[in-house]
Chains A and B, each alone.
Chain A
Amino acid sequence: MSLPRALVRPLLAATMLVIALSACAPIEPWVKPYERENLADPIMAFDRYPVSSAYLDHVYEAREGARGATGSAGGGCGCN
Chain B
Amino acid sequence: MQLMARRAAHDGSRTAAARQRGARGLPCWLPAACGSLLAATAAAGVLPEDRADVLYHRYDGGGVVIDGPSILVRKKFADKVSIAANYYVDMVSSASIDVVSTASPYREERTQYSLTADYLRGKSTYSIGYINSSESDYDAKTWYAGVSQDLFGDLTTISFSFKKGDNDIFRNIGGTKDPGFARGSEVRSYAVGITQVLTRSMIGAFNFEVISDEGYLNSPYRSVRYFDPADPKGYSYQAEIYPSTRTSNAASLKLSYFLPYRAALDGWYRYYSDSWGVVAHTAELGYTHPLRERWIFSGSVRYYQQDAADFYADLFPRRDYANFLARDKELSTFTAVTFGVGASYDFRIARLPWVDKAQVNLRYDFMTIDYDDFRDVRETVTVPGTERPYSLDANIYQVFLSIWF
Chain A interface residues (CB < 8 Å from chain B): 1, 3-4, 6-7, 10-11, 14, 18, 21, 27-31, 33-46, 48-52, 54-56, 59-60, 62-71, 73-80
Q: Given A30-B155, A70-B207, 4 other A-B contacts at CB below 8 A?
A: A33-B36, A38-B201, A42-B10, A56-B396
Given contacts A31-B197, A43-B296, contact A69 B250 (CB under 8 A): yes
Asked if B39 and A51 sit within 8 Å, CB to CB, the answer is: no
Residue from A29, A42, A63 within 8 A of B367 (CB atoms): A63
Q: Which residue of B lies closest to A52 (CB)?
A: B398
Q: Does B11 belong to the interface (CB within 8 Å)?
A: yes
Q: Does B391 belong to the interface (CB within 8 Å)?
A: no
Distance from B1 Cβ to chain A, minimum over Cβ atoms (Å): 9
> Which label, helix, strand, loop or mixed, suits the secondary structure of the B interface?
strand
Asked if A69 and B55 sit within 8 Å, CB to CB, the answer is: no
Residues of the B chain whose Cβ atoms lie less than 8 Å from the Cβ of A4: 190, 210, 212, 247
Asked if A75 and B70 sit within 8 Å, CB to CB, the answer is: no
> A40 vs B12: C-alpha distance in the bound complex, in angstroms?
12
Q: Does B369 belong to the interface (CB within 8 Å)?
A: yes
Q: Give 1 or 0 for each of B333-364: 1 = CB within 8 Å of chain A CB.
A: 00010000010100000000000000001010
Asked if A29 and B252 sit within 8 Å, CB to CB, the answer is: no
> B128-136, B173-181, B229-237, B375-383: which lies at the A interface?
B128-136
Residues of the A chain whose Cβ atoms lie less than 8 Å from the Cβ of B137: 78
Interface residues on B, range: 35 or more
Residue from B6, B135, B197, B280 within 8 A of A77 (CB atoms): B135
Residue from B142, B153, B189, B256 within 8 A of A28 (CB atoms): B153
> A62 vs B133: C-alpha distance in the bound complex, in angstroms?
15
Given contacts A41-B10, A78-B135, contact A65 B331 (CB under 8 A): yes
Asked if B36 and A34 sit within 8 Å, CB to CB, the answer is: yes
Q: Does B112 belong to the interface (CB within 8 Å)?
A: yes
User: Can you list 7 A-B contacts with CB-CB less than 8 angstroms, sorted by A residue number?
Assistant: A27-B153, A34-B35, A40-B35, A51-B55, A68-B272, A69-B209, A69-B251
Q: Give 1 or 0 for each of B29-57: 1 = CB within 8 Å of chain A CB.
A: 00110011001100000000000010101
Residue from B7, B144, B282 within 8 A of A40 (CB atoms): B7
Residues of the A chain whose Cβ atoms lie less than 8 Å from the Cβ of B210: 4, 6-7, 10, 68
Asked if B135 and A51 sit within 8 Å, CB to CB, the answer is: no
Distance from A53 Cβ to chain B, minimum over Cβ atoms (Å): 10
CB contacts under 8 Å to A, within B172-195, are 186-193, 195
Asked if B248 and A67 sit within 8 Å, CB to CB, the answer is: yes
A45, A68, A79: most-surrounded residue (chain B CB, <10 A): A68
Q: Does B146 belong to the interface (CB within 8 Å)?
A: yes
Residues of the B chain whose Cβ atoms lie less than 8 Å from the Cβ of A14: 158, 192
Q: Does B311 belong to the interface (CB within 8 Å)?
A: no
Residues of the A chain whose Cβ atoms lie less than 8 Å from the Cβ of B197: 29, 31, 36, 39
Asked if A44 and B256 sit within 8 Å, CB to CB, the answer is: yes
Residues of the A chain whose Cβ atoms lie less than 8 Å from the Cβ of B304: 60, 64, 66
Given contacts A40-B7, A63-B367, A67-B248, contact A7 B190 (CB under 8 A): yes
Q: Does B330 belong to the interface (CB within 8 Å)?
A: yes
Distance from A59 Cβ to chain B, minimum over Cβ atoms (Å): 6
Given contacts A44-B203, A66-B270, A69-B209, contact A75 B152 (CB under 8 A): no
